[in-house]
């Protein structure tokens, strides 16, 4: 714990490391997924155990790649539209308090 977080105390250095590592984690996972898909489709996906079988490989087919990219872009567009046009649409209305910068919240 000491080498990664800088000790056991929760202070500025610890929080900075924690937030930076957790910010990078989705990008690392995204990169590993890309490498996995690249090598999976180079060697074929019918060989999960690593046996030497060179028949019936499933290669990258442009239709499926294009379809997956189009579906991802469409999903991100819809989610972005919901977030930008109606930002509190997916939230819990009971758990929302509008911010007033001139007043300290009662729980502090």
Distance CA 89, CA 92 (A): 8
Low-confidence ranges of the chain (pLDDT < 50): none
Closest of 55, 64, 14 to residue 37, by C-alpha: 64
Are 70 and 80 part of one and the same domain? yes
Is residue 95 a part of any domain in this protein? no
pTM for the model? 0.38
Are 85 and 49 part of one and the same domain? no
Are 3 and 46 part of one and the same domain? yes
- φ, ψ of residue 22 to 5 degrees: the values are -75, -25
Closest of 61, 62, 36, 56 to residue 44, by C-alpha: 56
Distance CA 92, CA 85 (A): 17
- How many distinct structural domains can be found in the chain? 2
Are 17 and 46 part of one and the same domain? yes
Distance CA 52, CA 97 (A): 61
């Amino acid at each position: 714990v000491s080498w990664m977080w800088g000790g056991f105390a929760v202070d500025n250095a610890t929080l900075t490391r924690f937030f930076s590592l957790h910010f990078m984690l989705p990008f690392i996972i995204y990169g590993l997924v890309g490498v996995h898909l690249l090598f999976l489709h180079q060697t074929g996906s019918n060989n999960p155990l690593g046996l030497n079988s060179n028949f019936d490989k499933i290669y990258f087919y442009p239709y499926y790649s294009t379809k997956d990219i189009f579906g991802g872009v469409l999903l991100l567009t819809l989610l972005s539209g919901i977030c930008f046009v109606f930002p509190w649409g997916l939230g819990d209305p009971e758990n929302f308090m509008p911010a007033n910068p001139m007043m300290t919240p009662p729980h502090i």
